[in-house]
């Protein structure tokens, strides 16, 4: 793979908010973490439509609902450790049951928060959010895709959760790479196995695909950025061709992308499956790349898993 520029998805969130900020309906709410969530540029350009809500996430989400029910398009910004968890009841009843047009953008998801350790490494948020009726769940894979996700979320009617990261990542998609909420994209084509990934694991899956191709193993890599609703058609199409699957996410293996794929396949097309993710444990302090290695979330881990599921094929 070529050398790509490194940029964090949370920066793309901030940039996209500025790009769409001219729309009077867009309002941004922050729970103290304005710089960290990259909403400061919006706050300076559009101060009337930026609301500093303090360390009070439950009220922030409720306020966003009131704004949404009055015709605004609120973007609620904080860490994934606090949204959904701290405001889950508000998200369930006030956002989802109302079908309120609220966009929940949380940054610093997953292990790559690094040194802050387990309390700040949200690893359950995808599972929680995808269990909620009326919620759309998006996990963009890089800076460029995040900008598209934020802009599409703004024009999408209904609750959306966008999961973003702290660390810099390779920007490997282009402005013309297709992105549509609810549609998975085939990023690498093969016939031997399907790797379905989201977020920062998409790049790792591509590294794995390159590595495997040197050994004559060719895989499909699906960028499954929308975990709910799942692009069942494209996933089943690939899996019926390859007959085995590896999922990869920076999240618990239970209930997230891997859980969603396992549910889909066990009902419609059971095949050998290996889920890559954190295996029912908390994270810990460390450098992002050290943690990804320790918890088995690297291209190398995907390569091993692919070989394993191929051997198990019916």
Partner 1 sequence: MDRDTLVKKLKKKANIIRKDILKMIFKANSGHPAGALGMADVFSVLYFHEMEHEPRNPYWIDRDRLVLSNGHICPVRYSAMARSGYFHPHELKTLRRLGSRLQGHPSYVDLPAVESSSGSLGQGLSIAVGMALAAKLDKKDYKVYCVMSDGELDEGSSWEAINAAHKFGLDNLIVIVDRNFIQISGETEGIWPLEPLDKKFEAHNWNVLKSSGHDFNELLEVFETANNSDKPVVIIAKTVPGKGVSFMEGRFEWHGRPPNKEELKQALLELKNGGSQK
Residues annotated as catalytic are: 57
Among 98, 152, 177, 213, binds partner 1 (CB under 8 A): 98
Instruction: Tell which one of 7, 10, 49, 147 touches partner 1 (CB under 8 A).
Output: 49
Q: How far apart are CA 101 and CA 287, in angstroms?
A: 37
* Smallest distance from partner 1 to CB 124, Å: 21
Question: Scanning residues 13 to 42, which ones bind partner 1 (CB under 8 A)?
Answer: 27
Can you tell me the distance from the alpha carbon of 314 to that of 311, in angstroms, rounded to the nearest whole number?
A: 9
CA distance linking residue 301 with residue 169, whole number of Å: 18
Q: Which of 130, 108, 129 is nearest to 120 (CA)?
A: 108
68: contact with partner 1 by CB under 8 A: yes
Question: Taking CB under 8 A as the rule, does residue 263 contact partner 1?
Answer: no
Stretch near partner 1 under the rule CB under 8 A, chosen from 15-23, 50-58, 235-243, 294-302: 50-58
Contact region with partner 1 (CB under 8 A), list: 94-102, 103-111, 151-159, 228-236: 94-102
How many chain residues touch partner 1 (CB under 8 A)?
Answer: 31
Please report which helix (H) or strand (E) contains residue 60, including its range. Answer: helix 57-68
Q: How far is CA 167 from the centre of its chain?
A: 14
E strand intervals along 164-304: 168-170, 185-188, 193-197, 219-223, 226-228, 245-252, 273-278
CA dist list (Å): 20 to 14, 17, 303: 10, 5, 40
Residue closer to partner 1 by CB (options 51, 179) is: 51
Compute the least distance from the CB of residue 44 to partner 1, in Å. 18
Out of 9, 39, 94, 252, name the contact with partner 1 by CB under 8 A: 94
Q: For residue 171, what are its two tokens?
A: 């920007």
Closest CA to 18 of 35, 36, 43, 37: 43
Site string for partner 1, 182-211 (x = CB under 8 A): ------------------------------
The binding site for partner 1 (CB under 8 A) comprises 27, 48-49, 51, 53-54, 56, 58-72, 74, 89-90, 92-94, 97-99
């Amino acid at each position: 793979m070529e050398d790509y520029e490194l940029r964090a998805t949370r920066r793309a969130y901030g940039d996209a908010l500025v790009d769409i900020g001219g729309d009077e309906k867009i309002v941004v709410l922050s729970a103290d973490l304005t710089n960290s969530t990259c909403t400061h540029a919006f706050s300076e350009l559009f101060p009337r439509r930026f609301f500093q809500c303090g360390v009070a996430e439950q009220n922030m989400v409720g306020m966003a609902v009131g704004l949404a029910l009055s015709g605004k398009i609120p973007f609620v910004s904080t860490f994934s450790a606090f949204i959904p968890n701290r405001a889950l009841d508000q998200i369930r009843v006030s956002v989802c049951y109302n079908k309120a047009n609220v966009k929940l953008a949380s940054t610093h998801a997953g292990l790559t928060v690094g040194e802050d350790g387990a309390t700040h490494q949200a690893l359950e948020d995808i599972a929680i959010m995808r269990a909620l009726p009326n919620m759309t769940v998006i996990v963009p894979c890089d800076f460029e895709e995040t900008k598209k996700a934020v802009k599409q979320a703004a024009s999408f009617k209904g609750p959306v959760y966008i999961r973003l990261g702290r660390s810099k990542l390779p920007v490997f998609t282009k402005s013309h790479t297709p992105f549509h909420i609810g549609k998975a994209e085939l990023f690498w084509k093969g016939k031997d196995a399907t790797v379905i990934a989201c977020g920062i694991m998409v790049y790792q899956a591509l590294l794995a695909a390159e590595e495997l191709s040197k050994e004559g193993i060719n895989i499909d890599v699906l960028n499954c950025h929308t975990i709910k609703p799942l692009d069942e058609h494209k996933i089943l199409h690939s899996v019926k061709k390859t007959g085995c699957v590896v999922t990869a996410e920076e999240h618990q293996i239970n209930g997230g992308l891997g859980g969603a794929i396992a549910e889909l396949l066990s009902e419609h097309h059971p095949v050998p499956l290996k889920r890559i993710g954190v295996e029912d444990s908390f994270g810990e302090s460390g450098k992002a790349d050290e943690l990804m290695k320790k918890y088995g979330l690297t291209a190398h881990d995907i390569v091993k898993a692919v070989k394993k599921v191929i051997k198990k094929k019916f």
